[in-house]
Amino acid sequence: WKHAMPLTLAPRRPAAVKTPCLLPSFGEGLGGGFVAGGDVLLGGGEKETMQNLNNRLAAYLDKVRALEEANAELEIKIREWHMKQRPGPDHDYSPYFKTIEDLRNKILAATTQNANVLLQIDNAKMTADDFRTKYETEQALRLSVESDTNGLSRVLDELTLTIGDLEREAERLREELIFLGTNHEEEMRVLRSQIGREITVEMDAAPGADLTKVLEEIHELYESLAKNNLRDVEQWFLSKTEELNREVAHHTEELLTGKSEITELRRNIQALEIELQSQLLTLEGTLADPEARYGSQLAQLQTLISGVEEQLADLRCDLERQNQEYKFLLDVKTRLEQEISTYRHLLEGEEAQYVQGVKIIVGSFVPRSPCRTCNHSPGSHHC
């Protein structure tokens, strides 16, 4: 019925006014046979023509009934298709919506927890930056203390060199003092030897000074000068040595203080580094666990979402296919309705022509009265 071909009619001769037609029996209607008594009124060719028309009319009626049945079946199928398209238990998507809502809530919770973890990571990074700043400050302070220590070491080296120079100067002064003492003793010995070899010379002269006394005074003067010089040198050396010792003690104390500060700073830096590493490891472990857990949960959610998307795609394909079938059936219905309308118009034309022929045949058997005007029979040439 889907491939019903349009009905092709044989060419008909135009119906003449005087062409006789067969009357259908009153009990059988348009699709039944013709009255047997009509055979007396028709000739052989006209009888075959009327039989052909009768057969064609019966074929038209059969095709009309077939098309009506096909149309009814098509309407039933269209109604069934509409019934199938209604939301029923087979197409209840509420469980999928609930699953999707649960997945969205889980994703939102995972996103929130991930944001909290990221916030903790940012706080840890800020803490690490603070520790790094403190470390850099302590390192700069350590470098400053080391530079001061190096400067104090240079000062200590200079003081050591100065002490060496002063010791050498003191040794030189001792040697000079010993040399002066030796030279003085040698001069005294020479003078004593000269005095021992006195020559008595009598002369009239004024009494001179006592040479021995003068020499003794000179000797005492030299000894006092040497003692004073030695005492001054010793005092200067002792003062310088004491001053240098004080400076060395002060710088040594500063050096020890700097070393203790450097040691304390190193311990603090090591403690800060250990604390920083422990916090980083703790945060990395804390971050790794949620990442692994939420990664597996996201993978499961992605699998569920992929399954739901595949089901939705299948449903879309099914709906598209049913929509195409509906369009095809609607097109077939439209064509069938057009063919039925065409057949109906043809049948109405055939019935009108058939009724007209019957009227003509019936009119030919009605007794006619003579024309009152010309006293001729109706239909004659003079009427």
In sequence order, the 6+-apart residues with CB closer than 8 A to the CB of 24 are: 30, 32, 33, 34, 35, 54
Reported as a single tens digit per residue, the pLDDT across 53-66 is 888 888 888 888 88
pLDDT at 23: 36
On the question of pLDDT at 166 being above 70, the answer is yes
pLDDT at 238: 83
On the question of pLDDT at 379 being above 60, the answer is no
Reported as a single tens digit per residue, the pLDDT across 185-223 is 887 788 777 765 544 444 444 445 566 777 777 778 878
Round the average pLDDT of the chain to a whole number and report it: 73
Reported as a single tens digit per residue, the pLDDT across 68-102 is 888 888 888 888 887 777 655 555 667 778 888 88
Contact assessment for residue 286 and residue 120, using Cβ atoms and an 8 Å cutoff: yes
In sequence order, the 6+-apart residues with CB closer than 8 A to the CB of 337 are: 71
Give DSSP secondary structure letters for 43-94.
-HHHHHHHHHHHHHHHHHHHHHHHHHHHHHHHHHHHHHHHHHHS--GGG--H
Residue 294: CB atoms within 10 A of its CB come to 19
- Going by pLDDT thresholds of 50, 70 and 90, the confidence category of residue 300 is confident
Amino acid code (one letter) for 44:
G
Q: How far apart are the first and last CA of the chain?
A: 57
- The rounded distance, in Å, linking the Cα atoms of 327 and 270 is 81
pLDDT at 197: 57
For residue 172 the two structure tokens come to 């030189």
On the question of pLDDT at 161 being above 80, the answer is yes
pLDDT at 130: 86
Instruction: Give the DSSP H/E element, type plus range, for residue 150.
Output: helix 94-196
pTM metric for this prediction: 0.30
- The rounded distance, in Å, linking the Cα atoms of 377 and 368 is 7
Q: In terms of C-beta density within 10 A (0-12 exposed, 13-18 middle, 19 or more buried), how is residue 22 classed?
A: buried
Q: Which of 16-20, 305-309, 354-358 has the lowest mean pLDDT?
A: 16-20
| Nearest alpha-carbon partner for 135 in 47, 265, 14 | 265
On the question of pLDDT at 22 being above 70, the answer is no
Q: In terms of C-beta density within 10 A (0-12 exposed, 13-18 middle, 19 or more buried), how is residue 231 classed?
A: exposed
Reported as a single tens digit per residue, the pLDDT across 121-146 is 888 888 888 888 888 888 888 888 88
Percent of the chain with pLDDT over 90: 0
- The rounded distance, in Å, linking the Cα atoms of 225 and 232 is 10
- The rounded distance, in Å, linking the Cα atoms of 266 and 135 is 10
Find the largest Cα–Cα distance for the chain.
Answer: 245
On the question of pLDDT at 147 being above 70, the answer is yes
Cα-based torsion angle of the residue sequence 279, 282, 288, 293 in order, rounded to the nearest 10 degrees:
-130
On the question of pLDDT at 18 being above 50, the answer is no
pLDDT at 252: 79
- Going by pLDDT thresholds of 50, 70 and 90, the confidence category of residue 37 is very low
Q: Find the mean pLDDT for residues 33-50.
A: 54
SS3 34: strand
Q: In terms of C-beta density within 10 A (0-12 exposed, 13-18 middle, 19 or more buried), how is residue 203 classed?
A: exposed
pLDDT at 196: 59
Higher confidence at residue 301 or residue 353?
301
Reported as a single tens digit per residue, the pLDDT across 340-378 is 888 788 877 766 776 676 566 555 544 444 444 454 444
- Going by pLDDT thresholds of 50, 70 and 90, the confidence category of residue 226 is confident
pLDDT at 292: 81
Q: Which long-range contacts (CB under 8 A, 24 or more apart) does 358-367 make?
A: 358/21, 358/23, 360/17, 360/18, 360/19, 360/20, 360/21, 361/20, 361/21, 361/23, 361/41, 364/18, 364/20
- The rounded distance, in Å, linking the Cα atoms of 225 and 233 is 12
pLDDT at 354: 64
Q: Find the mean pLDDT for residues 145-166.
A: 84
For residue 261 the two structure tokens come to 């500060």
**What is the CA 214 to chain-centroid distance, rounded?**
115
- The rounded distance, in Å, linking the Cα atoms of 49 and 35 is 15
